[in-house]
Amino acid sequence: MTRAFLVVMDSVGAGGAPDANQFFNGNVPDTGANTLGHIAEACVAGSAEEGRSGPLRMPNLDALGLGAAVRLASGASMPGFDAEPSGLWGAATEVSKGKDTPSGHWELAGVPVPWDWHYFPDEVPAFPQELMDEVARLAGAEGTLGNCHASGVPIIEEHCAEHMRTGWPICYTSADSVFQIAAHEETFGLDRLLKLCEDIAPTLHAMKVGRVIARPFVGECGNFRRTANRHDYAIAPPAPTLCNWVQGAGRKVHAIGKIGDIFSRRGIDDVRKGTDSDLFEHLVSLADTAEPGSLTFANFVEFDTLFGHRRDVSGYARALEWFDGQLRRFFERLQPGDLAIFTADHGNDPTWTGTDHTRERVPVVGYGLGVRAIGQVGFVDVAASVAAHLGVPSEGPGRSFL
């Protein structure tokens, strides 16, 4: 039996979402956002020279059809990406009313979100007092810090000293449907932070808040760093996903990165975590060892967390080039008949205003089945296609493009 590898390059959008005007960064609609296209343009213009230089170089994904996928998605060219596609290529459009991690991943796995997410207002305070009281009670603390929209690093910088002195957790949100809690791994305790997030998660999920995210950090104030021990406590998908379909057919499902968190470990046999560098080694290892008929579902998050939200064009370009440069090792280990699909869950254009995700179509490029132009497809069609490749029943609304 053949195997499937579904790899989500978190936030690597391709522009062109038909409803981008309904999604905003501040007061600016996402119309015209194009993560890949604008990064490539910045590189050609010499505006992404920190730690790298020159045009954006992603020869492996471009050879499969990445540049063609961006042109199809947005109508805009991706400078320097003009290879004739040698793999499966197309672009996918999302229907769920969110530009967030659960919406994108669930829909890629065959389940569009059937409800409206709850978003906290961009004001101070952002959270109701009864929620803050409950967080403090569960934490065994006399209060909380933050209570606003913020980016992770600046809010830790702002409240680090008081957090270290009082032990009060730092609570914040973003334009996504999330509730985030930052705390020091040593002075507050990693296990304590994880238990706090786990305990408060049902309250947030009942409000239709998509995720409670533990954001641990270490070091001293002014010289701290967030660690790879982040954990997402996501609301459970409303219906069986691709992971359940595959597992229900008696096959194995291997999760890499935060996939286990996103799907509340439902339909997943094992989870492998770490930095993106660690995750790629897990991907290579599973290319060697994954069972016949299995699904490996991976998320590489650092494009989004380290560079997209921080609007770091050079860093995002470096990450893209690093990822592409590793792919040959992965391809060499795939077996005849295996299918590897590379896609994304939303955009996060680092040239855009604001700090939040951008509503975009996403590229869909594949290795293993030869040249295949799939055109414009839906996110749910990715799940249906992976199921068709593995020979398991598809239970969602998607249609296979294979």
As for how many domains the chain has, the answer is: 2
Separation between Cα atoms, residue 183 and residue 160, nearest integer Å: 9
Show the 3-state SS of 88-118.
EEEEEECCCCCCCHHHHHHHHCCCCCCCCCC
Beta strands at 4-9 and 270-272: parallel, antiparallel or unpaired: unpaired
304 annotated to a ligand binding site: yes
One domain for residues 104 and 245 = yes
Structural contact between residues 93 and 17, judged by C-beta atoms closer than 8 angstroms: yes
CATH code at position 152:
3.30.70.1250
Q: Which residue has the tokens 């590897």?
A: 340
Nearest-10 Cα torsion for 380, 382, 384, 387 = -140
One domain for residues 279 and 228 = no
34 inside domain: yes
Hey, which residues does 231 pair with through a beta bridge? 214
227 inside domain: yes
Separation between Cα atoms, residue 43 and residue 73, nearest integer Å: 20
One domain for residues 109 and 137 = no
One domain for residues 249 and 373 = yes
82 annotated to a ligand binding site: no
Separation between Cα atoms, residue 183 and residue 189, nearest integer Å: 8
396 inside domain: no
Nearest 5°: phi and psi at 51?
80, 5
Q: Any residues with CB less than 8 A from the CB of 162 and at least 6 apart, and which?
A: 145, 168
Q: What is the span of the domain harbouring residue 270?
A: 4-114+238-390
Could you list the beta-strand ranges (E) of 110-238: 145-149, 170-173, 178-184, 211-220, 223-226, 231-234
The pLDDT of residue 255: 98
Beta strands at 295-300 and 362-367: parallel, antiparallel or unpaired: unpaired
124 inside domain: no
Domain's final residue, options 203, 234, 265? 234
The pLDDT of residue 384: 98
Instruction: Give the number of residues written for the chain.
Output: 402
119 inside domain: no
Give the DSSP per-residue string, 160-181.
HHHHHHH-PPEEEE-SSSEEEE
Angstrom CA distances, 106 to 174, 260, 264, 309, 384, stand at: 20, 12, 11, 22, 13
CA nearest to 402, candidates 380, 376, 369? 369
One domain for residues 274 and 215 = no
Nearest 5°: phi and psi at 114?
-90, 5
CA nearest to 232, candidates 94, 99, 101, 127? 101
Radius of gyration, alpha carbons of the chain: 20
38 annotated to a ligand binding site: no
254 annotated to a ligand binding site: no
CATH code at position 262:
3.40.720.10
137 inside domain: yes
Separation between Cα atoms, residue 316 and residue 48, nearest integer Å: 9
159 annotated to a ligand binding site: no
One domain for residues 63 and 133 = no
One domain for residues 183 and 146 = yes
One domain for residues 202 and 151 = yes
The pLDDT of residue 138: 98
One domain for residues 253 and 356 = yes
Structural contact between residues 91 and 73, judged by C-beta atoms closer than 8 angstroms: yes
203 inside domain: yes
Largest CA distance in the chain: 62
One domain for residues 51 and 165 = no
30 annotated to a ligand binding site: no
The pLDDT of residue 151: 87
Hey, which residues does 216 pair with through a beta bridge? 183
One domain for residues 98 and 140 = no
Residue 384 in tokens: 């249906």
Give the DSSP per-residue string, 12-37.
---B--TTGGG-EETTEE-TT--HHH
369 inside domain: yes
The pLDDT of residue 68: 98
The pLDDT of residue 176: 86
Nearest-10 Cα torsion for 347, 351, 355, 357 = -10
Q: Any residues with CB less than 8 A from the CB of 196 and at least 6 apart, and which?
A: 135, 138, 139, 169, 181, 183, 214
Domain's final residue, options 187, 205, 234? 234
Q: Could you read off the pLDDT tens digit of each residue along the chain, which spans 402 residues? A: 999 999 999 999 999 999 999 999 989 999 999 999 999 999 999 999 999 999 999 999 999 999 999 999 999 999 999 999 999 999 999 999 999 999 999 999 999 999 999 999 999 999 999 999 999 999 999 999 999 999 889 999 999 999 999 999 999 999 889 999 999 999 999 999 999 999 999 999 999 999 999 999 999 999 999 998 999 999 999 999 999 999 999 999 999 999 999 999 999 999 999 999 999 999 999 999 999 999 999 999 999 999 999 999 999 999 999 999 999 999 999 999 999 999 999 999 999 999 899 999 999 999 999 999 999 999 999 999 999 999 999 999 999 999
One domain for residues 166 and 211 = yes
CA nearest to 213, candidates 158, 173, 251? 173
Domain's final residue, options 190, 213, 234? 234
The pLDDT of residue 75: 97
